């Protein structure tokens, strides 16, 4: 166990967002004794074509808790309607309090440029909260942080207004099957909502089908980040990695030097 565990807080817009983008890293941090918490900033209550509202929100909450058990992490869900997240002062205050209470070294979230308005709102809210966390008279009943955490963004392929450029790329091959088990917990999304216009996957074939789809998805991430993987792992291993997750460090939080990056991402030889 590390003398001073790293504390990592990941914000996603919906239940399952953080699992897909950071589930492998979360397992690797936890295996080294570090603290990881996921927060879904909406309850996901519109993310289905046949059910919705309270029953779906409760179902999706239970899916997050199933995923949390697989990854051995803490998982919180804000009770905000899916599609209703806005970068306003009230939700910024909620975000500031959440960061202050967990006291993370590293915060990870969506970028503010994305196809989904909830994803964009998360990026803006977290960016604004990273600075607000240090101001004593903002959300004054929760003790402020002495300095902003490091802020990073999860992988995306959007290029407007600027393309995603990974700072760190992490080999997830050794935890990939367990990550698939984690994502498998989100049955309402993986096997229902995302297949609403397709034939259903037979129950006994679901996990294998999901694994094959995720293998291709995160092989694409690894290919997009190949230069970054080689930078961190060296030529031979970097070119052999099949699946990866990435983080792009933001200018808006504390900006780490190379040594601090290796402390925050202690996965490299």
Residues in the chain: 269
E strands present in 65-127: 74-77, 106-109
> Per-residue confidence at 248, pLDDT binned at 50, 70, 90?
very high
E strands present in 41-181: 74-77, 106-109, 150-154, 168-171
> Per-residue confidence at 202, pLDDT binned at 50, 70, 90?
confident
- What pLDDT is stored for residue 63 in this prediction? 98
- The answer, yes or no, to whether residue 1 has pLDDT greater than 60, is no
Other Cβ atoms closer than 10 A to 70: 18
Tokens of 170: 């992490």
> Per-residue confidence at 226, pLDDT binned at 50, 70, 90?
very high
List the domains of the chain with CATH numbers: 7-264 (3.40.50.10320)
- The answer, yes or no, to whether residue 146 has pLDDT greater than 60, is yes
The answer to whether 17 and 66 have CB atoms below 8 angstroms apart is: no
Its pTM surpasses 0.85: yes
Across the chain, mean pLDDT equals 96
- What pLDDT is stored for residue 2 in this prediction? 59
- What pLDDT is stored for residue 200 in this prediction? 84
pLDDT (tens digit per residue) in 84-107: 999 999 999 999 999 999 999 999
Bond from prior residue into 161 cis (ω within 30 degrees of 0): yes
* Greater pLDDT, 268 or 200: 268
Q: Which 3 state secondary structure label does DSSP give 97?
A: helix
Residue 259 CA from chain centroid, whole number? 23
Q: Which 3 state secondary structure label does DSSP give 161?
A: coil
Task: State how far the Cα of 219 lies from the Cα of 148, in Å rounded to an integer.
Answer: 33
């Amino acid at each position: 166990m590390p003398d001073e565990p790293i504390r990592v807080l990941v914000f996603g817009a919906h239940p399952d967002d953080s699992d897909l983008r950071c589930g492998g890293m979360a397992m690797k941090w936890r295996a080294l004794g570090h603290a990881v918490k996921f927060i879904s900033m909406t309850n996901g209550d519109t993310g289905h074509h046949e059910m919705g509202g309270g029953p779906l929100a409760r179902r999706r909450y239970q899916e997050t808790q199933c995923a949390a058990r697989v990854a051995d992490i803490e998982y919180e869900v804000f009770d905000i309607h899916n599609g209703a997240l806005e970068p306003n002062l009230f939700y910024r205050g909620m975000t500031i309090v959440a960061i202050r209470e967990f006291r993370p070294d590293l915060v990870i979230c969506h970028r503010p440029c994305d196809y989904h308005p909830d994803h964009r709102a998360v990026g803006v809210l977290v960016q604004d909260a990273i600075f607000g966390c240090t101001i004593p008279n903002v959300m004054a009943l929760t003790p402020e942080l002495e300095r902003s955490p490091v802020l990073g963004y999860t992988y995306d392929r959007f290029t407007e207004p600027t393309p995603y450029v990974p700072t760190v790329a992490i080999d997830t091959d050794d935890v990939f099957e367990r990550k698939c088990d984690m994502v498998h917990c989100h049955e309402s999304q993986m096997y229902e909502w995302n297949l609403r216009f397709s034939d259903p996957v037979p129950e006994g074939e679901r996990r294998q089908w999901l694994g094959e789809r995720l293998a291709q998805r995160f092989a694409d991430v690894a290919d997009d980040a190949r230069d970054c993987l080689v930078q961190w792992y060296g030529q031979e291993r970097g070119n052999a990695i099949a699946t990866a997750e990435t983080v792009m460090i933001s200018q808006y939080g504390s900006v780490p030097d190379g040594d601090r990056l290796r402390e925050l991402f202690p996965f490299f030889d």
